[in-house]
């Protein structure tokens, strides 16, 4: 492991510890007992992330995409990871800049929630998360169509159950938007039970929608699985490894060559 690998490992561990600290701070007993330690760790983390952010802005011109000194740096700052790096340190500096009287409970909650942006930095240091980002990016068109189909079915299911059940349960199915809560729980087959059809046709319709929900949500899973398979094949091909037999190209005997290596 070279020096840069150690730096990546340190930053990865620091990000995970920050997420853990944000979670533990919501426990009142721990917050009261270790408030000083939480604050010290926050200051240390923001210091490290600020140095990292400044270093990335300074050195981003080494990347051909950001080679222009001014425009390239502005382009990096507005990129996905540039925005994530900025959001990772923004809450701390906003808290310092605003007077205590201006920090009401709602603002503090928003700032604390924004600290979870640090978890998005994992995508830079984790190959698995980076791979997921590539797969979703490559399949975003198919996933968009699947998501649109889910929305259409949700609207149709909620509308149908409203017209079937509104006369019997007017206090429950008050409108189509109110019925969408039932539609979401039915399509995801969670079935919380707080809203449920009582008429025979409503129960029949609910069963059909639940079965349809299983099929609908299996579609994005299949798209992502196919994307992972393509990404694996592409990665092996770039490394000179046959995607079918798993052996380097050119090392098979003439009679033992597979189709992909010929």
Collect the ranges in the chain with pLDDT lower than 70. Answer: 1-4, 99-112, 123, 125-127, 190-194, 236-262
What is the model's pLDDT at position 255?
47
Q: 203: domain CATH number?
A: 1.10.287.70
Residue 135, in any domain of the structure = no
Residue 107 lies in domain = 3-125
* Number of other residues whose CB lies within 10 A of the CB of residue 141: 9
pLDDT value of residue 262: 47
- Decide: pTM greater than 0.75: no
How confident is the model at residue 58, as a pLDDT? 92
pLDDT of residue 44: 95
Average pLDDT of every residue of the chain: 80
Instruction: Indicate if 171 and 216 belong to the same structural domain.
Output: yes
Q: Does residue 202 fall inside a structural domain?
A: yes
Sign of the torsion formed by the C-alpha atoms of 245, 248, 252 and 254: positive
On whether residue 94 sits in a domain, the answer given is yes
What pLDDT shows up at residue 11? 86
107 and 145 share a domain? no
Are 12 and 121 in a shared domain? yes
For residue 225, is it within any domain? yes
Residue range 74-87, pLDDT digits in tens: 999 998 888 888 98
CATH number at residue 64: 1.20.120.350
Shared domain for 106 and 156, answered yes or no, is no
Question: Are 115 and 221 members of one domain?
Answer: no
Give, in order, the Cα–Cα distances in Å from 174 to each of 39, 164, 179, 215: 48, 12, 7, 28
Q: What does each C-alpha distance from 8 to 87, 127, 155 come to in angstroms? A: 19, 12, 46
Q: What is the pLDDT of residue 74?
A: 92
pLDDT at 191: 60
> Please, how many CA atoms are within 13 Å of residue 216, restricted to the half-sphere of its CB?
23
Q: Are residues 121 and 24 in the same domain?
A: yes
Same domain for 11 and 106: yes
CA distance 79 to 11: 20
Amino acid 45: pLDDT? 92
Q: What is the pLDDT of residue 254?
A: 45
Domain count across the chain: 2
């Amino acid at each position: 492991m070279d020096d840069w690998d150690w730096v990546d490992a340190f930053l990865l561990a620091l990000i995970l510890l920050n997420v853990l600290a944000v979670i533990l701070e919501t426990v009142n007993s721990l917050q009261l007992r270790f408030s000083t330690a939480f604050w010290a760790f926050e200051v240390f983390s923001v210091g490290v992330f600020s140095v990292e952010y400044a270093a990335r802005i300074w050195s981003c011109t080494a990347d051909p995409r950001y080679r222009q000194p001014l425009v390239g740096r502005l382009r990096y700052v507005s990129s996905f990871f540039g925005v994530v790096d900025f959001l990772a340190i923004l809450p701390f500096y906003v808290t310092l800049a605003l007077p205590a009287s201006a920090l009401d409970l709602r603002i503090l909650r928003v700032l604390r929630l924004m600290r979870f942006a640090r978890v998005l930095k994992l995508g830079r240091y984790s190959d698995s998360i980076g791979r997921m980002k590539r797969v979703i990016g490559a399949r975003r068109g198919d996933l968009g169509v699947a998501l649109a189909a889910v929305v259409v079915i949700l609207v149709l299911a909620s509308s149908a159950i409203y017209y079937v059940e509104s006369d019997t349960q007017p206090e429950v199915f008050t409108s189509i938007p109110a019925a969408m809560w039932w539609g979401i729980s039915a399509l995801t087959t969670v079935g919380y039970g707080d809203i449920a059809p009582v008429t025979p046709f409503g129960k029949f319709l609910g069963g059909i929608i639940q079965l349809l929900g299983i099929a609908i949500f299996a579609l994005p899973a299949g798209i992502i699985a196919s994307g992972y398979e393509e990404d694996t094949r592409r990665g092996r091909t770039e490394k000179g490894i046959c995607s079918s037999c798993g052996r380097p190209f050119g090392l098979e005997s003439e009679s033992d060559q597979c189709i992909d290596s010929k």
